[in-house]
């Protein structure tokens, strides 16, 4: 990237930051800030073996299927299409959120934190082992244990679990959107903004590629319309504000403790390494 390009990007970022500060100042002073300028989102593009798809504003606008894929059984064809469409829809829902959209997958986040806990613990044990071996050779004394650091991941997992409990105490009902093509040879259902099922008949997979893709686009987009309409109308339970506030305070406490313990551990390791030098 040229120097001039970097400078232009920096100036553009500073201008947007200054605009946001101005809007925030107006809001704090009791004035209604001007509406932000509209911007155009990039299309969400995804692929799967034999399939390419483009989604704009949560709707498929282009779908391409390789002829070789159409020689496969209907189930294999629909799975490849569903995988590609869902990958693009996932990003599009992030770019253009709407009423009734699913919240974050806290179960998946909990699993990721569990993996990070295991990996982090293994890394800390390796560091401790190397330091203790080096200290034993040089006769240096010091505490190389990670102290409370190895428990920080567990605390973070506790915050996620508390958040999940607060949000799922009275979950909203599952909404299923349905759609199909005009010939009823292609049918789709949508749940939580993702294509749950995509059914192709034997007749559908014998369509010319262009006709099949148009049928799939019609079925999926119709199902998305139906899902969004139903999801927006669902009477959702009120959130437990007190519980969420407690979770927020717990998360802030964990964050502060994390910084303190990591700072102390880093200082301790630095002292040991200076002794080694």
| Residue range 207-219, pLDDT digits in tens | 999 999 999 999 9
| Cα torsion 206, 211, 213, 219: sign | negative
- Interval 241-250: pLDDT, tens: 566 566 666 6
| pTM given for the model | 0.57
List CB contacts of 231: < 8 A, sequence separation 6 or more: 99, 100, 101, 175, 177
Place of tokens 């498929």: 60
pLDDT tier, 34 (very low <50, low <70, confident <90, very high otherwise): low
According to DSSP, the residues that pair with 189 across neighbouring strands are: 178, 197
Question: What order of strands is seen across the sheet that includes strand 176-180?
Answer: 176-180, 186-191, 194-200
Q: φ, ψ for residue 196 (rounded to 5)?
A: -85, -45
Count of H-run helices and E-run strands, the chain: 6, 6
**Structure tokens, 145:** 């244990």
Domain ranges of the chain: 44-100+175-233, 106-169+238-276
Give the confidence band of 63 by pLDDT, cuts at 50, 70, 90: very high
CB of 185 within 8 A of CB of 200? Answer: yes
pLDDT at 35: 62
Residue 262, judged by CB atoms within 10 A of its CB (0-12, 13-18, 19+), counts as middle
Task: Say if residues 145 and 264 touch (Cβ distance below 8 Å).
Answer: no
Distance CA 179, CA 188 (A): 5
Distance CA 83, CA 171 (A): 27
CA angle 242, 246, 252 (to 5 degrees): 145
- Looking at every residue in the chain, the average pLDDT score rounds to 76
Count the neighbouring beta carbons within 10 Å of the beta carbon of residue 81. Answer: 27
Which single residue is written with the structure tokens 């997979």?
Answer: 205
């Amino acid at each position: 990237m040229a120097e001039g390009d970097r400078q232009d990007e920096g100036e553009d970022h500073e201008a947007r930051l200054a605009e946001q500060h101005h809007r925030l100042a107006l809001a704090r002073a009791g004035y209604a800030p001007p509406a932000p300028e509209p911007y155009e989102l990039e299309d969400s593009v995804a692929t799967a073996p034999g399939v390419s798809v483009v989604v704009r504003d949560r709707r498929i606008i282009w779908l391409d299927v390789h002829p070789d894929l159409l020689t496969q059984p209907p189930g294999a064809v629909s799975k490849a299409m569903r995988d590609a469409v869902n990958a693009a829809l996932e990003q599009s829902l992030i770019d253009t959120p709407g009423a009734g959209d699913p919240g974050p997958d806290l179960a998946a986040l909990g699993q990721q934190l569990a993996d990070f806990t295991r990996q982090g613990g293994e890394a800390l044990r390796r560091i401790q082992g190397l330091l203790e071996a080096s200290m034993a050779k040089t006769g240096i004394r010091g505490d190389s244990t990670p102290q409370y650091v190895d428990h920080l991941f567990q605390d973070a997992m506790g915050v996620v679990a508390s958040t999940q409990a607060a949000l799922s105490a009275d979950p909203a009902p599952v909404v299923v959107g349905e759609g199909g093509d005009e010939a009823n040879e292609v049918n789709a259902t949508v749940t939580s903004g993702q294509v749950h099922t995509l059914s192709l008949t034997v007749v559908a997979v014998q369509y010319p590629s262009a006709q099949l893709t148009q049928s799939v686009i019609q079925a999926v987009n119709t199902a998305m319309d139906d899902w969004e309409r139903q999801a927006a109308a669902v009477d959702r339970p009120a959130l437990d504000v007190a519980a969420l506030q407690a979770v927020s305070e717990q998360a802030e406490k964990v964050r502060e403790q994390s910084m303190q313990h990591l700072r102390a551990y880093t200082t301790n390791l630095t002292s040991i390494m200076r002794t080694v030098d």
